[in-house]
Amino acid sequence: MRPLGLAFAALASCVIAGQASATPIPVANNSFESPTGLACPTSWTCQPGASSSDVGVYAPGAAQYNSNGTNGLPNGSRVPDGSQVLFINDFNGQGAQVVFQNVATIADQTTYSLDVWVGHRLDFGWEVPELRLLANGSLLTTSGSLADPGVGKWADYSLSYTTIAGDSHSGQNLSVELYDNDPRVGQVNFDLVSLNASSRVVAVPEPSSLFLLVPGLFLLMMSAGRARKSS
């Protein structure tokens, strides 16, 4: 590229360059440590009013997960975080079981990234769960049916959604939803739910930076002019 072109390219990059900024979004009771006992986890909503035998929290023991490093976690860890996890199953035939939490207000030009650890306990069959993100209760995106991590194992699953400028969902409630609609008599466990927002921002140069840039651009343009005259 010629010097003059380089000068204008440098100026343009200073004005329009963007940078991504990632911010954790708090998820209350994200590792399901409250309450202790078979009940809907604190700060989450369980639908359709599931009984404690269909949705709740419990502390897995050796009969559910090993802690010798064969479960997809570091040696000595039985669950991804804390001591309790969320369980969802459909022993009472009520159909889809849903556990959700409103976590944020949706903003434009933002990528929301969800991560959840999902486990298949040793002593139960596997359900087919989904991770979902919703806006005011309407589905934004879903992971689809999650693959079985393996008997007695945990795996980290992720899901993301990006809004656009002037997005129709801007200002609506963003919800994290853990979903199971499998009629089989099995169970799925969830733990350590995390959510991040990465927004796109325009980098506006400081006035002092522009002041230092202008003489350089002037010299480059003069150099380009002399080069044309001598050619």
CATH number at residue 153: 2.60.120.260
CA distances from 185 to 39, 94, 127, 164, 181 (A): 19, 12, 8, 41, 11
Q: Comparing 98 with 16, which gets the higher pLDDT?
A: 98
- Residue 45, pLDDT above cutoff 90: yes
- Distance (Å, whole) CA 65 – CA 77: 9
Within this chain, do residues 126 and 220 fall inside the same structural domain, yes or no? no
Mean pLDDT confidence for 92-103: 84
Within this chain, do residues 115 and 50 fall inside the same structural domain, yes or no? yes
How is residue 33 written in tokens?
């440590």
Within this chain, do residues 2 and 81 fall inside the same structural domain, yes or no? no
Within this chain, do residues 78 and 28 fall inside the same structural domain, yes or no? yes
Mean pLDDT confidence for 68-77: 97
Within this chain, do residues 228 and 180 fall inside the same structural domain, yes or no? no
Within this chain, do residues 107 and 71 fall inside the same structural domain, yes or no? yes
Residue 222 belongs to domain spanning: 1-17+207-231
Confidence grade of residue 226 (pLDDT, cut at 50, 70, 90): low
Q: Name the DSSP class of 136.
A: T
Within this chain, do residues 13 and 33 fall inside the same structural domain, yes or no? no
Confidence grade of residue 213 (pLDDT, cut at 50, 70, 90): very low
Within this chain, do residues 2 and 35 fall inside the same structural domain, yes or no? no
Within this chain, do residues 187 and 222 fall inside the same structural domain, yes or no? no
Mean pLDDT confidence for 7-16: 43
Within this chain, do residues 92 and 147 fall inside the same structural domain, yes or no? yes
Neighbours of 121 (CB within 10 A): 23
Question: Which residue, chain included where needed, has tokens 């006035």?
Answer: 207
- Range with the poorest average pLDDT among 9-13, 60-64, 105-109: 9-13
Within this chain, do residues 50 and 10 fall inside the same structural domain, yes or no? no
Query: How many structural domains comprise the chain?
Result: 2
Within this chain, do residues 179 and 223 fall inside the same structural domain, yes or no? no
**pLDDT averaged over every residue in the chain:** 83
